[in-house]
Amino acid sequence: MNLSIGPLVALIAGILILVMPRLLNYIVALYLIVIGVLGLVGAHNLSL
């Protein structure tokens, strides 16, 4: 079973946002931080 992490994270984030809408700010901020760090470190060849 080949499961990509991107859609799984999106699904979990979507469910959490539906349950607790105030989490949207934290989820978006965490996503942007992770993408920014991966971009700076040079992990752009890592397939998420």
Both tokens of 43, joined, read 């992990």
Both tokens of 32, joined, read 């942007």
- How many CB atoms lie under 10 A from the CB of residue 9? 15
What letter represents residue 1's amino acid? Answer: M
Average model confidence (pLDDT) across the chain = 77
Domain residues for the domain of 31 are 5-42
Does residue 47 fall inside a structural domain? no
Does residue 48 fall inside a structural domain? no
Does residue 21 fall inside a structural domain? yes
Does residue 33 fall inside a structural domain? yes
- In angstroms, the CA 45 to CA 48 distance is 9
Does residue 25 fall inside a structural domain? yes
Does residue 19 fall inside a structural domain? yes
Specify the number of domains making up the chain: 1
pTM for this predicted structure: 0.52
pLDDT, tens digit, for every residue of 6-28?
788 778 878 888 888 888 888 88
